[in-house]
Amino acid sequence: MATWSRVAAFAVAGRLRSICSDGTNIFYMLASGANFGGYARAGDYYQYEFGVGNTKIVDQSNMGWSLTYGCVVYAGDLYMLEWVSGDSIFGPNHVGNVHRWNGSVDSTTIVRNSFDLDYSVYKGVGYYRIFADDDGLYTAVVANDGTGEGYRSNYYLTEFYNGSWSTSTFGVDPVEGSTRTTYQAANPLGVFEIFNRDSDGTAWVARASGSAAFSVYQGSPPAFGSILGSNPGGTLHFGTLISNSYYLNSAMSSMTQIPDISCIQQYNMPYLCGLEYVGPGSNFYTLSESGPSWTLLELVDEGAFDPAFDVTQTAVLRMDNGNVYIFGQNINTGFAEIWLRSEPLNPPTYDRRLYIYKTTDSGDSWTVRKVET
């Protein structure tokens, strides 16, 4: 039986929100939400390197005002999505920026700003996420016209590929009579959004893709509560309001109940892992790469997690070497905690892709291109 041990704990400002890794031994964690004059303060990104043990803030001052960020490691660099919320200070527009940090200096560069949003129709709550696959870096933004129940959602899927950006825009109309939720997930197969109708439990899941098409699945699980994540194959995992969890396959043709997984690993990791919160301890699950079958590995020892460990703000990452880490925040101390499983899980067999980097100014800036024919 594997055991879990806490390998790091350190203070962070605000709530732990985004966690990402390069797949080896470096982790980035965003804490944000500390109030400043009534507004959510920009987040602080912390870098933690196993084997070195230090933590440092890699970005703070350049970030705007936001409640939600995302981060992803792509081609060796850390990319962070900043969303500047509209308010009385900044006006009604909502502006998204992508920052890149290459580790050379303690500051970041805005590599993409002012997404091509149709500000004139944007009134509702936005949704935004950054993710990557082997072919590119993506940001997904959902805006709506805010006219009330059944309003149209406008999607903006922006792709960074071989040094240039392109944006696709398309819209999804919710099913008539449904209550729109704000639960979305994004992966390379598209942006998922749930339209929910509580009266009879019927729900619709819409998926928009870069081809400007969308598809809708009608299911009948209990009312959806949240989208937990999606895996590289496009399988969508989500929870319900009565604490069940389900997955929807990539073809959007069938839905199956799974253990109540509280968190799902990010896309750029090769496997999915999950935690089921069962009180002071948690059941640790893994999801096989080949299909949506979950295997209960063990109960995470009750002594491992403080009862105050906020599993809802948890991420599980499996590294290239098979090491498995759980990230979370102790709601009593506010400390970010990192836990390591004593036994690595099978490391992935995939190959990292080949990139070429070029500098023409002695390293101040770099051009990167994926090697392909």
Partner 1 sequence: MATDYRVGGVHHNAFDIDADGLYLYLAVLNSSNTPQVLKMSVSMTVNATVVYNPGSGTEIGLMAGDLSSYFIWAAGALGGTNKVALTEDGGVYWTVMDEGSWSGVARPILVGPGNDLLVTTSTDLSYRQSRTEGDSVYWIERTLLGTIWSVDRVDDNFDDAVVGAYWYTGDSEELVHYSPNSGLSWENITDTLTPPGTITSLIIGH
- Tell me the closest approach of the beta carbon of residue 266 to partner 1, in angstroms: 20
- Tell me the closest approach of the beta carbon of residue 161 to partner 1, in angstroms: 11
Amino acid letter for position 219 = G
When the beta carbons of 176 and 351 are compared against partner 1, the nearer one is: 351
Is residue 121 helix, strand or coil? helix
- Tell me the closest approach of the beta carbon of residue 282 to partner 1, in angstroms: 36
Single residue of 51, 53, 200, 371 touching partner 1 by CB under 8 A: 371
Residues 6 or more apart whose CB falls under 8 angstroms from that of 324 comprise: 273, 316, 317, 318, 340, 341, 344, 345
56 binds partner 1 (CB under 8 A): no
When the beta carbons of 162 and 342 are compared against partner 1, the nearer one is: 162
- Our measurement of the distance from residue 337's CA atom to the centroid of its chain's CA atoms, rounded to an integer in Å, reads 19
When the beta carbons of 1 and 354 are compared against partner 1, the nearer one is: 354
When the beta carbons of 91 and 363 are compared against partner 1, the nearer one is: 363
51 binds partner 1 (CB under 8 A): no
Residues 6 or more apart whose CB falls under 8 angstroms from that of 362 comprise: none
Handedness of CA 191, 23, 329, 236 (dihedral sign): positive
| Residue 42 and residue 66 in contact, taking contact as beta carbons nearer than 8 Å | yes
38 binds partner 1 (CB under 8 A): no
- Tell me the closest approach of the beta carbon of residue 74 to partner 1, in angstroms: 15
- Tell me the closest approach of the beta carbon of residue 271 to partner 1, in angstroms: 19
- Tell me the closest approach of the beta carbon of residue 351 to partner 1, in angstroms: 5
When the beta carbons of 1 and 371 are compared against partner 1, the nearer one is: 371
367 binds partner 1 (CB under 8 A): yes
176 binds partner 1 (CB under 8 A): no
Residues 127-166 binding partner 1 (CB under 8 A) are 134-135
Q: List, in sequence order, every beta strand (DSSP E) within 33-136.
A: 35-36, 39-40, 44-49, 55-59, 70-74, 77-84, 95-101, 109-113, 127-132
When the beta carbons of 290 and 358 are compared against partner 1, the nearer one is: 358
> Residues 347-366: x/- map of binding to partner 1 (CB under 8 A)?
----xxxx-x-x--------
Phi, psi of 121 (to 5 degrees): -105, -5
Phi, psi of 320 (to 5 degrees): -60, -30
Amino acid letter for position 112 = R
100 binds partner 1 (CB under 8 A): no
Residues 6 or more apart whose CB falls under 8 angstroms from that of 208 comprise: 155, 157, 170, 172, 190, 191, 193, 214
When the beta carbons of 10 and 161 are compared against partner 1, the nearer one is: 161
Bridge partners (DSSP) of residue 97 are: 82, 113
- Tell me the closest approach of the beta carbon of residue 318 to partner 1, in angstroms: 21
When the beta carbons of 166 and 293 are compared against partner 1, the nearer one is: 166
Residues 315-354 binding partner 1 (CB under 8 A) are 351-354
Burial class (CB in 10 A: 0-12, 13-18, 19+), 306: middle
- Tell me the closest approach of the beta carbon of residue 138 to partner 1, in angstroms: 16
- Tell me the closest approach of the beta carbon of residue 349 to partner 1, in angstroms: 12
Is residue 307 helix, strand or coil? coil
Binding site for partner 1 (CB under 8 A): 134-135, 351-354, 356, 358, 367, 369, 371-373
